[in-house]
Amino acid sequence: MVPDSFLTPLRSYMKGKFDQFKDLTPLPEVPSTYMYKYAPSIGTPWKRVDTVLKLIETEFDSLGEFLSYLFHNRDYGIPDPRTPKHCSVVASFLHGQSNVNMGVIIDLIYRHHAGQPSTSSHERASAFSSTISPHDIANARTSLSAWATQLIGQQAYREICVLTRDDPNDPADVTQLCASTNGRAKNVQVVTWDHLGKFTIGGLADRFTKWAPLVFYLTEAMAAPRKNGVVKLRIKCPHPMVSAVQDTSPTDNYIRIITDSGWRNCVIYY
């Protein structure tokens, strides 16, 4: 405890030092900015969406322009104009780390009533087009259908090409067996009755399921019966066998082109 012998001269010295400030009016209390910075959002999600859209309208020409910048995909070797925050948010969404993933968004866009062309629009004929670029189609649903069709077509072509090649990890997997050989070509396998005896439609279906799942799915969608949207397997003439036979048609056409180019003595075996 401080003794009075010390406090008494201190009080005498400080007396009247701050009299000039006694008549000042105190400033009004200013609230902290913390509560505004971290306060929860006010209003419904629809109101917040409206607020964001108004901001987009003031900063961009359209919602499409904003989305093109949002999902900007830079070329390698070119400096990225995006901020770290921009990159991290978009990457998190595209990796499916948000509570709503891309599958939900695509489905919402495709099924949206505003994305369907009117009954009098010429774009109705462009749905699922394999030739018209999706960039040239205005309506969202028609554009998405054409984009999906062309993407599936490219993948189906790649899978058919894979089916014509041997499995590098399986020496017993041979897709091209020669009927005869003159000895000039190296590592030529000639067809035998053992090879033909191992051929089955079930094995062919397994090969398509492994190496061409998309092609097999497309033929299955055409051949398989459905009930309430669920694929049903028939006891007699099951659809995997029908699909396997259907799948051999484009592959056989591809191989026939090769054999006509010079490999006339090749026998295609699966």
| Token representation of residue 71 | 């999902």
The pLDDT assigned to 52 comes to 94
Provide the domain limits for residue 76. 43-91
Q: Residue 257 — very low, low, confident or very high, per pLDDT cuts 50/70/90?
A: very low
| Token representation of residue 42 | 């006010």
Distances (CA, A) of 234 to 103, 203, 218, 248, 251: 32, 18, 18, 21, 26
> Token pair 């695509």 is at which residue?
106
The pLDDT assigned to 68 comes to 95
114: in domain: no
164: in domain: no
215: in domain: yes
Q: Residue 4 — very low, low, confident or very high, per pLDDT cuts 50/70/90?
A: low
Average pLDDT over residues 124-147: 95
33: in domain: no
β-strand partners of 226: 231
Question: Which of 54, 76, 91 is at the close of a domain?
Answer: 91
User: How much of the chain, in percent, has pLDDT values that exceed 70?
Assistant: 68
68: in domain: yes
Helix, strand, coil tally for the chain in percent (to 5): 55, 5, 40
Question: Which of 31, 56, 91 is at the close of a domain?
Answer: 91
Judge whether residue 131 has pLDDT over 50.
yes
When comparing pLDDT for 2 and 44, which is higher? 44
* C-alpha R_g of the chain: 36
37: in domain: no
Average pLDDT over residues 94-122: 94
246: in domain: yes
Judge whether residue 76 has pLDDT over 80.
yes
Ordered DSSP codes for 92-123: HHHTT-SSS-HHHHHHHHHH-GGGSPPTT-GG
Cα(157)–Cα(155) distance, integer angstroms: 5
User: Rounded mean pLDDT of the chain?
Assistant: 78
Cα(144)–Cα(111) distance, integer angstroms: 11
When comparing pLDDT for 230 and 148, which is higher? 148
How many domains in the chain? 2
The pLDDT assigned to 269 comes to 39
186: in domain: yes
Find, among 92, 105, 170, the residue nearest to 140 by Cα: 105
The pLDDT assigned to 165 comes to 80
Question: Which of 58, 91, 124 is at the close of a domain?
Answer: 91
CB atoms within 10 A of CB 263: 13
Cα(266)–Cα(248) distance, integer angstroms: 16
> Token pair 């190296």 is at which residue?
186
pLDDT tens-digit readout, 205-252: 788 888 889 988 888 788 777 777 777 766 665 655 555 555 555 444
Find, among 64, 42, 69, the residue nearest to 53 by Cα: 64
Cα(93)–Cα(70) distance, integer angstroms: 11
